[in-house]
Amino acid sequence: MGDHPERCADRGVEAFAGRVVVVLLLGSLTLVAWRLSAVALLLFAAVLMAIALRGTAWSFARLAGIGGATALAFVVILFLTGLGLALWFFGTVIGGQLDELARQVPAGLRTATGRLQSHPYGRYALEQAQGLGTAGMTGWAAAAVGNVARALTRGLGYAVLTFFVAIYLAAQPGRYRRICLQLIPPDSRPRAARLFEEAGNILRRWLLGQAVVMATVGTLSGIGLWALGIEAAFALGLVGGLLTFIPFVGAVLAAVPATLVALTQGPGFAVLVVLMYIGVHVVEGNVITPMVQAEATALPPVLSLLSTVAFSILFGPSAVLLAAPLTLLLLVVIKVLYVEQALGAPASLSEGSAPEHSREFQPEARL
């Protein structure tokens, strides 16, 4: 009886130590997951690319009457061949126009600087900037160029890795789906399977609509710049179409180099270019996007803007590229796991039911 308090104290110490170990383990796992967030973003990008490859391959298989694996191999080869031919055919044109951009943009900056010097507030801002010193500015410019070069090299490596992962995912989606479902309790697997179907369906529709929007904006921007007589119209239109993938931010980024190039031809050209970009994106936001993006895949402007800022803060600038599809995925998770399951709202299968090709072309994806 005398050592009973000591045994109780020992058990209390053991219980406390066990809790500390659990907390440390959870903290370590959270830290590892946070450090590997870049890998998670790459995986999500690979899933998006796999959805695009799989959907294109299904369309080709249906038209040509061939098997899914053969169609996927053909689509991959066709994509690589088309990319190579595009780089070879347009390389000289794009390279020449990008060289022209490299000459015109600094000239536009010099013109803008000259105009700022004609105003008191602009002159004050320039004096503050010059206070940094020539050596400091030169060092900053050199560091910026080095950072951009390293980022481009790293981005190219990540893109190649993502493409190969996407090919594996597109070739055997059912295999990786089953692996994920095996990690979930059996009672929750039907709900998780439906979540996968809903997410794949909405991301597939969003990718298709986004491709149409990007092609349309790029074409309209290029034609508009060419009609205004702006130099390097083809390169600027291509950049504008690609940057449309980024909500809101892409439109601003696309207009900046075009405006600087137009400024070298006169302030009137710069004003016309700004008005042209505003008109293109007004048409895109009010006509093109509502036509090609269903209500289920069209993000409200406020949500799209806030999600872009939030994901860039959480995961870095590269997450801006995936902000829109990540937000759609999050909305599907909330709908399936919270609105329908926790709140008991009726399921709306008209928006998220598996499309025809997910049943015909992907029989291996079902349990």
The pLDDT mean for the chain works out to 74
Distance CA 145, CA 140 (A): 9
Quote the tokens at residue 294: 């269903």
Count how many domains the chain has: 1
- Any domain includes 14: no
Mean of pLDDT values over 212-228? 87
CA 310 to chain centre: 14
For residue 255, give every residue at least 6 positions away whose Cβ sits within 8 Å of its Cβ, in sequence order, or none. 240, 273, 274, 277
97 in Cβ contact with 237 (< 8 Å): no
108 in Cβ contact with 261 (< 8 Å): yes
Q: What is the DSSP letter of 338?
A: I
pLDDT at 136: 47
364 in Cβ contact with 172 (< 8 Å): yes
| pLDDT at residue 63 is higher than 80 | yes
Mean of pLDDT values over 286-298? 68
- Any domain includes 366: no
- Any domain includes 13: no
- Any domain includes 6: no
Give per-residue pLDDT as tens, 135-151.
444 454 445 545 655 66
- Any domain includes 367: no
- Any domain includes 75: yes
Domain interval for residue 137: 38-343
- Any domain includes 73: yes
- Any domain includes 86: yes
